[in-house]
Amino acid sequence: MEEFSQRFSSLKPFLVFECAARSGSFSAAAKAFNISQPSVSRNVAQLEREIGVALFERRSTGAELTDAGRELFHAITQGMSTILRTIKQIERRRHEEAGVVSLSVSGSFVAHWMAPRLAAFTQAFPDVRLRFHLISGMVRGLPDDVNLAVRTMDASDQDVRSWDFVPEIVLPVCSPGYAAARKSTGNETFLHFSDHAHDIWNDMSDLGLPGHLKGDVCHEFDDYSVLLQAALDGSGVALGWLSVTSKLLLDRRLVPVGGRAHRTGRVHRLIDCGAGPSRDIVADIAQWLVERMKEDLAALEPILPSTT
Task: Please give the pLDDT value at position 238.
Answer: 95
Task: Please give the pLDDT value at position 90.
Answer: 77
**Residue 191: band (very low, low, confident or very high) from pLDDT cuts 50, 70, 90:** very high
Task: Please give the pLDDT value at position 266.
Answer: 93
Q: Which long-range contacts (CB under 8 A, 24 or more apart) does 47-50 make?
A: 47/13, 47/14, 47/17, 50/7, 50/8, 50/13
Instruction: Read off the pLDDT of residues 207-252 as tens digits, 9 standing for 90 and up.
Output: 777 766 666 889 999 999 999 999 999 999 999 999 999 999 999 9
Average pLDDT score over residue span 23-52: 90
Question: Could you say which of 1.10.1200.10, 1.10.10.10, 3.40.50.720, 3.40.50.261 is the CATH number of the domain covering 2-97?
Answer: 1.10.10.10
The whole-angstrom separation of Cα 119 and Cα 114 is: 10
Task: Please give the pLDDT value at position 104.
Answer: 93
Instruction: Evaluate if residue 183 carries a pLDDT over 80.
Output: no
Burial of 304 (0-12, 13-18, 19+ CB in 10 A): middle
Instruction: Read off the pLDDT of residues 241-281 as tens digits, 9 standing for 90 and up.
Output: 999 999 999 999 999 998 788 999 999 999 998 765 557 89
The whole-angstrom separation of Cα 75 and Cα 54 is: 16
Domain boundaries in the chain?
A: 2-97, 100-307
Average pLDDT score over residue span 155-168: 83
The whole-angstrom separation of Cα 255 and Cα 109 is: 18
Instruction: Evaluate if residue 300 carries a pLDDT over 90.
Output: yes
Residue that wins the pLDDT comparison between 1 and 114? 114
Which of 41-55, 191-205, 287-301 is most confident?
A: 287-301
Average pLDDT score over residue span 48-69: 87
CB 236 within 8 A of CB 187: no
- Of all residues in the chain, the percent with pLDDT exceeding 90 is 55
What fold does the segment set 100-307 form as a domain? Answer: D-Maltodextrin-Binding Protein; domain 2 (3.40.190)
Residue 223 phi, psi dihedral angles, 5° rounding: -130, 115
Q: Considering the chain, what is the average pLDDT of its residues? A: 87
Strand, coil or helix: what is 149? strand
